[in-house]
């Protein structure tokens, strides 16, 4: 299966900015942070701007958190921006401004988990590493296990499944990893897989089984309207848009439920996404 994925990817890979020659491991790390739970189309312009502005970890670490959060814009989950900022500081001071190239050092960085660490190894350093994201888990669930979808993560088993698909050679394995993700992203999609365009259809266990429907547990629907996440987003939007610290009244206007608003404002302060000045006004953190 790896050979099929390899040939298909070489012929059909999307031209994404962070895949272009010359992208540094730092550029890859930035892209992976931004792509956590966020679609490619929304990441592209922000990533381009980011790399021009902050081409190295140390350059980025020197920026203020307010500048970082404004540059992050409405990418979502802004705590990722803060974690990337903290990770850059560690890289600059403890790793000589070079993104680590071993799993343990990478996973020790804030905001870097099992997926991101291996993605950096594979796409930043051309190394053989089982890269397991939601796309790859779906591809493996179908093509290897014949299931309709992936179901809950089985971390160790997922890593082993993907590891078994990778060729020995580092450079080739890295491309296969990119190919498996690409396959899940553009062909073996969650809702309406384009099996007619699939390079592994001849060896796909799901296809062979007659494409049975997924029968495992469904992840609970994640609401948004009315949640603290929405309120935090509203409050942060006010702070991002303001050039000067804002009065509490400006934040009060962003959400009518006072108790929820206060709770969310407090949580933003605790998370380091906002701060209160001595005069009582609020702003993005310095």
Partner DNA sequence: TAGACGTGGTT
Partner DNA sequence: TAACCAAGTCT
With tokens 């291996």, the residue in question is 118
CB of 141 to DNA, least distance (A): 12
What mask of x and - would describe binding to DNA in positions 130 to 169, judged by CB under 7 A? ---xxx----------------x-----------------
Provide the β-strand partners of residue 246. Answer: 282
Q: Which of 25, 27, 57, 78 touches DNA by CB under 7 A?
A: 78
CB of 121 to DNA, least distance (A): 12
- Locate 60 and state its tokens: 């980025």
- Of 55-74, which residues contact DNA (CB under 7 A)? 74
How far is Cα 271 from Cα 286, in angstroms, rounded to an integer? 13
Residue 36 vs residues 50, 96, 134, 268: alpha-carbon distances, Å? 16, 26, 10, 20
Q: Which is nearer to DNA, 113 or 202 (CB)?
A: 113
- Locate 76 and state its tokens: 């979502």
CB of 72 to DNA, least distance (A): 9
Q: Which residue in 32, 44, 182, 275 is the catalytic one? A: 32
How far is Cα 34 from Cα 68, in angstroms, rounded to an integer? 13
Rg of the chain over Cα atoms, rounded to whole angstroms, equals 21
Q: Which is nearer to DNA, 148 or 168 (CB)?
A: 148
Q: Which of 221, 249, 258, 286 touches DNA by CB under 7 A?
A: 221
Residue 183 sits in the site that holds DNA (CB under 7 A): no
Q: What is residue 272's DSSP assignment?
A: T
Q: Which of 42, 70, 145, 248 touches DNA by CB under 7 A?
A: 42
247 is catalytic: no
What mask of x and - would describe binding to DNA in positions 225 to 244, judged by CB under 7 A? --xxxx-xxx-xx-------
- Locate 73 and state its tokens: 């814009």
CB atoms within 10 A of CB 243: 6
Residue 260 sits in the site that holds DNA (CB under 7 A): no
Residue 125 sits in the site that holds DNA (CB under 7 A): no
Q: What is the DSSP string of 115-164?
A: HHHHHIIIIIH--------HHHHHHIIIIIT--SS--S--HHHHHHHHHT
Q: Which residues bind DNA (CB under 7 A)?
A: 16, 18-19, 31-32, 35-40, 42, 74-79, 83, 110-117, 119, 133-135, 152, 181-182, 184-185, 189-192, 218, 220-224, 227-230, 232-234, 236-237, 267, 273
Tell me the catalytic residues.
32
């Amino acid at each position: 299966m790896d050979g099929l994925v390899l040939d298909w990817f070489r012929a059909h890979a999307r031209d994404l900015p962070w895949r272009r020659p010359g992208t540094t491991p730092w550029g890859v790390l930035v892209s992976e942070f931004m792509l956590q739970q966020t679609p490619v189309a929304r990441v592209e312009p922000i990533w381009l701007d980011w790399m021009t502005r902050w081409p190295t970890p140390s350059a980025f670490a020197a920026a203020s958190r307010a500048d970082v959060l404004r540059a992050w814009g409405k990418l979502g989950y802004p705590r990722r921006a803060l974690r990337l900022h903290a990770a850059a500081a560690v890289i600059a001071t403890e790793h000589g401004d070079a993104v680590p190239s071993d799993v343990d050092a990478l996973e020790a960085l804030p905001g870097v988990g099992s997926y991101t660490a291996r993605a950096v190894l594979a796409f930043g350093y051309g190394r053989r590493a089982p890269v397991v994201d939601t796309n790859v888990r779906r591809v493996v669930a179908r093509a290897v296990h014949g299931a309709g979808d992936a179901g809950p993560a089985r971390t160790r088993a997922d890593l082993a499944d993907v590891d078994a698909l990778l060729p020995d050679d580092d450079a080739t394995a890295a491309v296969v990893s990119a190919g498996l993700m690409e396959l899940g992203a553009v062909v073996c999609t969650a809702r309406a897989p384009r099996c007619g365009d699939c390079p592994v259809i001849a060896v796909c266990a799901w296809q062979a089984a007659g494409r049975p429907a997924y029968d495992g547990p469904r992840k609970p629907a994640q609401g948004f309207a009315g949640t603290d996440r929405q309120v935090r987003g509203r409050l942060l939007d006010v702070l991002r848009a303001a050039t000067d610290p804002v009065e509490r009244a400006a934040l009060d206007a962003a959400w009518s439920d006072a108790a929820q608003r206060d709770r969310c404002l407090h949580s933003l302060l605790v998370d380091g996404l906002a701060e209160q000045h001595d005069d009582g006004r609020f702003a993005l953190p310095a």
